């Protein structure tokens, strides 16, 4: 014989199931939920037969789509140009470098010289060979805020209606190399490569950080060459100098990138603010 508690538990379970069923089939639960009740998320408000006007939410939704497309890293989502610290002459020069580029962006975006870059005055590889501290202000290129400035520039461009895609060197190269080995007829490889080639503005972080190979060297040149011919800008940074960067991504790729940058290529050196922040 079952105990009374068992019967009561079963009754309670059935009551809960009935309630869940009633809730799921109630008029309120079946009613569509819209972010914008005015346009029912269509972004258009109908004003007559086959006539409509943009809803007030349309620009906000476009901005959200551009922001999602950019894939801003979580640790830099709060970065803006306005909060970039300008404590040293180098930081001020870097900030002015970016602002000057953005002020001219609409004029140069479709030209051969439409990109911006930060490279190191003394590359990471060179510093290792010199056997000096890479954090020595005379040689250091780390912790100057290059990524902060690139993300700030990306957000500025997004605010102005431009679509931006952000990539990290090591992650992108690993994804492309792994995709090449997949048994899918090149589908994933071409999908990733197509996004990199066709992004209206490409922001490339830590260029040359990935371990160099001949396959990657050819890939770097292919990406930069295709974007150069299509007049699609690249905003990039590297902790290598011109020579050591050539050793890591290939001289042809560096030449193409330098040609795209013109006066907007800047060598950086100075104090590592991360070291100062914890000292």
Whole-number Å distance between alpha carbons of 174 and 262: 29
Whole-number Å distance between alpha carbons of 47 and 158: 30
Per-residue pLDDT for 1 more than 50?
Answer: no
Selected residue with higher pLDDT from 130 and 98: 98
- Of the CA atoms within 13 Å of residue 264, those in its CB half-sphere come to 28
Per-residue pLDDT for 27 more than 70?
Answer: no
pLDDT, tens only, 235-270: 999 999 999 999 999 999 999 999 999 999 999 999
Alpha-helical segments (H) within the chain? 4-24, 27-30, 58-70, 89-108, 124-130, 146-159, 169-180, 187-198, 214-230, 242-249, 251-261, 273-278
Selected residue with higher pLDDT from 165 and 18: 165
| Per-residue pLDDT at 20 | 60
| Per-residue pLDDT at 2 | 43
Domains of the chain and any CATH numbers: 71-278 (3.40.50.300)
Tell if the pTM clears 0.85, that is, is over it. no
| Per-residue pLDDT at 3 | 47
From residue 247, alpha-carbon distances to 125, 170, 228, 253 in Å are 9, 16, 21, 10
| Per-residue pLDDT at 48 | 72
- Of the CA atoms within 13 Å of residue 24, those in its CB half-sphere come to 6
pLDDT, tens only, 130-160: 888 767 888 889 889 999 999 999 999 999 9
pLDDT, tens only, 43-71: 777 787 667 788 887 777 766 666 565 56
pLDDT, tens only, 5-17: 554 555 565 556 5
């Amino acid at each position: 014989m079952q105990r009374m508690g068992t019967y009561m538990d079963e009754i309670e379970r059935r009551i809960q199931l009935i309630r869940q069923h009633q809730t799921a089939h109630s008029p309120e639960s079946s009613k569509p939920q819209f972010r914008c009740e005015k346009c029912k998320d269509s972004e258009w408000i109908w004003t007559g037969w086959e006539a409509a006007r943009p809803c007030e939410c349309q620009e906000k939704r476009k901005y959200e789509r551009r922001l999602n497309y950019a894939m801003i890293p979580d640790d830099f989502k709060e970065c803006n140009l306005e909060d970039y610290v300008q404590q040293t002459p180098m930081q001020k020069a870097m900030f002015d470098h970016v602002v000057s580029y953005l002020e001219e962006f609409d004029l140069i975006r479709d030209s051969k010289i439409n990109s911006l870059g930060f490279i190191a005055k003394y590359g990471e590889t060179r510093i290792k060979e010199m056997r000096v501290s890479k954090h020595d202000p005379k040689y250091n290129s780390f912790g100057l805020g290059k990524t902060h400035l690139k993300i700030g520039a990306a957000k500025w461009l997004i605010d102005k209606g431009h679509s931006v895609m952000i990539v990290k060197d090591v992650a992108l190269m690993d994804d492309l190399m792994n995709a090449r080995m997949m048994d899918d007829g090149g589908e994933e490889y071409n999908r990733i490569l197509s996004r990199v080639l066709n992004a209206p503005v490409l922001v490339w972080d830590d260029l040359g950080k990935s371990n160099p190979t001949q396959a990657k060297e050819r890939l770097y040149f292919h990406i930069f060459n295709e974007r150069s011919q299509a007049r699609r800008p690249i905003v990039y940074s590297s902790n290598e100098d011109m020579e050591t960067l050539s050793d890591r991504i290939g001289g042809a790729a560096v030449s193409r990138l330098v040609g795209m940058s013109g006066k907007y290529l800047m060598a950086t050196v100075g104090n590592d603010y991360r070291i100062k922040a914890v000292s």
